[in-house]
Amino acid sequence: MQSLLDPAILFFVFGVVAGAVRSNLEIPPQISRFLSLYLLMALGLKGGFALAHSGLTAEVATTLACAVALALVVPIIGYQILKRLVGVFDATAIAATYGSVSAVSFITAVQYLETHSIPYGGHMAAAMALMESPAIILAVYFANQLRQLQASAGGVVVMGNGTAALGAPGLGGGSNFSLGKVLHESLTDGAQLLLIGAMLIGICTGDAGKAVMAPFSVDLFKGMLAFFLLDMGLMASRNMQKMKGASPWLVAYAILGPLAHASLALGLCSLLGIAPGNTGLLMVLAASASYIAVPAVLRYAVPEANPSLYFGMSLGITFPFNILIGIPLYMHVAGVVLG
């Protein structure tokens, strides 16, 4: 309950309510984009300053290796489960969405740790950046394998709505499809580059840079996060409508999947002896689902999938669940198990 009384979380709840009653309240897209870039830049600077202070240690390397392992294992397991619930291309897209991460969930979790004075490593921003792309690469690989199998079986492609159609070059598997372009977009996404660049600047400037940038990266952070979560609440409320009529199994996966992924992260962190604060953040990252970068790439890489499923699940169900319930739950469990 105490976490729900945080102003930023309350603004998210307010946004959900405003969207539910069909209010005309709206944050202009340009402002929303600016807020997301600001938060990533501030987060990257914070991580860089912390890394400049601590240096590259064995704990840092272990945590980053754990992050990469989760980014590979989660979409692989997710695909094996989801292909029993939906078509194979939808399973690929949903698995990739849940195998990647939500930067806003991570930023909200960082704010939770700072509010409750729980220590965490600045290298966790690098962990988030590393977990962004593996799921996209796996999705491209799975989709291409599926297309080859279906082509050898007569060229029948199962579309996102469950219908079948003959394969065609424009369906992402032929001459119009560029694996290099997809990988380039996933690895050079502007938001991710900004995060990494800000972190490198923080490392280079150290404590002197931290003192200079504090009014920007610290003092404004909470208010900017609250404003952005208001916008996310409006978006989440509107995307909940996309899940009307969806399979109850998909709705269940949108909640139980993140819990299972967070449990996997907890078990791995326990084996490796990772600190509670960092464990909590890895649980949040493993439990989150992308709703910006990955869906944008999937529209091009896996056009056979139904966007309303993977986008509606991630933003309409999983994101609100993590913001309101998941983050405090993961942090509490990490503290109890590893504290």
Q: For residue range 285-311, what is the model confidence (pLDDT) as tens digits? A: 999 998 877 877 788 778 888 888 898
Q: Is the pLDDT of residue 260 over 90?
A: yes
Contact, 311 vs 290, CB < 8 A? no
Q: Is the pLDDT of residue 72 over 60?
A: yes
Average pLDDT over residues 322-331: 95
Q: Binning pLDDT at 50, 70 and 90, where does residue 12 land?
A: very high
Report the C-alpha gap between 131 and 242 in whole angstroms: 27
> Is the entire prediction scored with pTM above 0.85?
no
Q: Binning pLDDT at 50, 70 and 90, where does residue 182 land?
A: low
Q: Binning pLDDT at 50, 70 and 90, where does residue 239 land?
A: confident
Q: In the chain, what percentage of residues exceed pLDDT 90?
A: 51
Report the C-alpha gap between 224 and 333 in whole angstroms: 28
Question: For position 300, what pLDDT does the model report?
Answer: 78
Question: For position 168, what pLDDT does the model report?
Answer: 36
Question: For position 285, what pLDDT does the model report?
Answer: 96
Q: Is the pLDDT of residue 266 over 70?
A: yes
Q: Is the pLDDT of residue 116 over 60?
A: yes
Question: For position 28, what pLDDT does the model report?
Answer: 93
Report the C-alpha gap between 190 and 60 in whole angstroms: 25
Q: Is the pLDDT of residue 26 over 70?
A: yes
Average pLDDT over residues 19-35: 91
Q: How much is the mean pLDDT over the chain?
A: 85
List Cα–Cα distances, 136 to 133, 179, 225, 261, in angstroms: 5, 11, 27, 17
Maximal C-alpha separation, the chain: 64
Q: 31-40, 61-70, 146-155, 291-300 — which one is most confidently predicted on average?
A: 61-70
List Cα–Cα distances, 337 to 79, 121, 170, 334, in angstroms: 29, 19, 50, 5
Q: In the chain, what percentage of residues exceed pLDDT 70?
A: 88
Q: Is the pLDDT of residue 95 over 90?
A: yes
Question: For position 255, what pLDDT does the model report?
Answer: 96
Quick one: which of 322, 246, 335 has its CA closest to 291?
Answer: 322
Structure tokens at 158: 């199962």
Question: For position 164, what pLDDT does the model report?
Answer: 45
Query: Is 100 in a helix, a strand, or coil?
Result: coil
Average pLDDT over residues 46-65: 87
Of 321 and 138, the structure prediction assigns the larger pLDDT to: 321
Of 292 and 62, the structure prediction assigns the larger pLDDT to: 62
Question: For position 53, what pLDDT does the model report?
Answer: 81
Q: 34-48, 189-203, 273-287 — which one is most confidently predicted on average?
A: 273-287
Q: Is the pLDDT of residue 180 over 70?
A: no
Query: Is 157 in a helix, a strand, or coil?
Result: strand
Structure tokens at 336: 């109890």
Q: Binning pLDDT at 50, 70 and 90, where does residue 183 land?
A: low
Report the C-alpha gap between 99 and 136 in whole angstroms: 8
Spans of all domains in the chain: 3-338
Topology given in CATH for the domain delimited by 3-338: Na+/H+ antiporter like fold (1.20.1530)
Structure tokens at 226: 């609250």
Question: For position 161, what pLDDT does the model report?
Answer: 44
Q: Is the pLDDT of residue 192 over 90?
A: no
Question: For position 241, what pLDDT does the model report?
Answer: 75
Question: For position 149, what pLDDT does the model report?
Answer: 81
Quick one: which of 317, 309, 295 has its CA closest to 237?
Answer: 317
